[in-house]
Amino acid sequence: MATPNPDEIEDDAARGAGTVRARLVRTLSRPRTALGVTMGPGTVWIAGLLVAPLVFMLAVSFTTTNLTDYNIIWEPTLARFRELLGGSVDAGLLDGGSVVLLEVGSFQLRATAFEKAILLSYAIATVTTLLCLALAFPLAYLLARRSGPLVKATIFLMLLPFFTMYLVRAYSWVLMFGSKGVINSALGAVGVGPLEVFNYGVPATIVGLTHAYYPYMLLTLYASMDGLDFSLVEAARDLGASRIDVIRDQIIPLTMPGIVGGSLFVFVPSVGAFITPQILGQGKVQMVGILIERWVYESRLSLASAGSMFVVVSIVAAMVLAFRYVELDELGGA
């Protein structure tokens, strides 16, 4: 690859070689040119393929899509958001109208299908995040404190499943769950009978998401604990702090960047999850990603954009939180 390497640049410039390469190297050594060459392409890419589409989607969410020729009518309107939150105003929502969300006695809390999907998505993402945190914390602690070949082997075995394709892992849970799945047929053989919990649905989706995003949590927690000075913990213990004190006053504050970072990396993708609820919910788990995908499929672009904004909100919140507690680049331990 012809990518000039700054290390070599400096070396060669010092040697003063007079080749074409050296001249190229000298040009590239000027900070301004170097900055342009190194950052330019990436900046164009991020601006054009990440920021622009999201801004564009924000704009489209305030428009109307003509449902006969699928063109976007560029007149600002709040109608899509009203449709999403108030039920189907002009038959925009397939599952329009409201459904009963909660019924206590004669009290009924009603919500539109979309509101229900949003609540469900955020609830599932919250549970998934907490599960990942609870499962990753002890392991990250163990990995950070111990070393040796056994730990190396453990890390390898822990990591291997994560590198398998997302879809393959989700599919392996398709086999496990279901009324005739591995779990339920095993239970049936023992005589416990098929249990509804192990059918496709919300529990299966949560398990699938936890399995899918666990590595992000483990990675960020491990990265923040790896740099932790455990002699502090021992000192606190020697000075009479209880285990709970140490965890609350030392370990948790010191690993806060990892906790916040890991939670973001699990929560945000879970809110907008599509594949997992689709194949592990088998139509029973209407998360927001599924609705959005369906609207795009039906070319309801404005509605899909407006719906997406409810997930983008979580991304923005995540970024604010990240800046508040931790530099985002610290999250990866870089």
Partner 1 sequence: MATDTDTDTEPDVADVAGSRLDHRLVDRLLRGSLYTVAALIMLFLWVPLLIMIVLSFADPATTLAGVEELTLDNYQLAVSDENMWSALRGSLAIATASATIATVLGVLASFALTRFGYRFLNVFRTFGILPMIIPGVILGVGLRIYFREVFAREWLGLVALLESPTGFVPVVLAHSVYGLPFVLLVVTARLYTFDESLESFEDFIRALFLTKFSTPVVTQWMFQQIENLNAPKLNPVATMIVAIIAVALAVAMNVGNVTGYVAGTVDDEE
List the interface residues with partner 1, window 98-127 (CB under 8 A): none
Shortest Cβ 57–partner 1 spacing (Å) = 4
The strand pairing partners of 104, in sequence order, are 107
Return the H-helix or E-strand segment holding 166. helix 166-176
- The single residue among 113, 212, 225, 311 that binds partner 1, judged by CB under 8 A, is 311
Tokens (6 digits) for 80: 């899509």
Q: Interface with partner 1 includes 51 (CB under 8 A)?
A: yes
With respect to partner 1, which residue has the nearer C-beta, 87 or 265?
A: 265
Name which position in 201, 257, 262, 289 contacts partner 1 (CB under 8 A). 289
Give 196 or 329: the residue with its C-beta nearer to partner 1: 329
Beta bridge partners of 72: 65
Residue 279: name the closest of 212, 216, 215, 214 by CA.
Answer: 212
- Among residues 65 and 88, whose Cβ is nearest to partner 1? 65
- C-alpha to C-alpha distance for 162 and 159, rounded to whole angstroms: 5
Our finding on whether 27 is near partner 1 (CB under 8 A) is no
Q: Which is nearer to partner 1, 71 or 108 (CB)?
A: 71
Q: Is residue 271 a contact residue for partner 1 (CB under 8 A)?
A: yes
Residue among 130 and 158 whose Cβ is closer to partner 1: 158
Quick one: which of 142, 192, 195, 320 contacts partner 1 (CB under 8 A)?
Answer: 142
What is the rounded end-to-end Cα distance, in angstroms, of the chain? 25
What sign does the dihedral 189-190-194-198 (CA atoms) show? negative
Asked whether position 217 contacts partner 1 by CB under 8 A, the answer is no
How far apart are the C-alpha atoms of 176 and 305, rounded to whole Å? 35
165 closest CA partner among 275, 55, 38: 275
Among residues 73, 103, 161, 195, the one that binds partner 1 under rule CB under 8 A: 161
Residue with tokens 């039920």: 87
DSSP 90-138: SS--TT-SEEEEEEETTEEEEEEHHHHHHHHHHHHHHHHHHHHHHHHHH
Q: How far apart are CA 71 and CA 64, in angstroms?
A: 9
> Which part of the chain contacts partner 1 (CB under 8 A), choosing from 19-27, 54-62, 105-113, 246-254?
54-62
Give the residue with the Cβ less far from partner 1, 108 or 242: 242
The distance of closest approach from Cβ of residue 96 to partner 1 in the complex, given in angstroms and rounded to an integer, is 20
The site map against partner 1 for 181-200 (x = CB under 8 A) is xx--xx-xx-----------
**Cα angle 183-187-192, degrees, rounded to a multiple of 5:** 145
Cβ–Cβ contacts within 10 Å for residue 250, how many?
19
With binding defined as CB under 8 A, does residue 45 bind partner 1? yes
Of 56, 97, 100, 256, the one binding partner 1 by CB under 8 A: 56
Check binding of 39 to partner 1 (CB under 8 A). yes
Asked if 317 is part of the footprint of partner 1 (rule: CB under 8 A), the reply reads no
Which CB, 67 or 101, lies closer to partner 1? 67
**Integer Cα distance of 84 and 305 in angstroms:** 11
Instruction: State yes or no: residue 232 binds partner 1 (CB under 8 A).
Output: no
Binds partner 1 (CB under 8 A): choice among 22, 24, 67, 72? 72
Task: Indicate which single residue of 204, 206, 259, 312 sits in contact with partner 1 (rule: CB under 8 A).
Answer: 312
Residue 97 phi, psi dihedral angles, 5° rounding? 75, 180
Please select the residue that binds partner 1; options are 101, 135, 241, 246, rule is CB under 8 A.
Answer: 135
Contact between 198 and 187 (Cβ < 8 Å): yes
* Choice between 116 and 211, CB closer to partner 1: 211
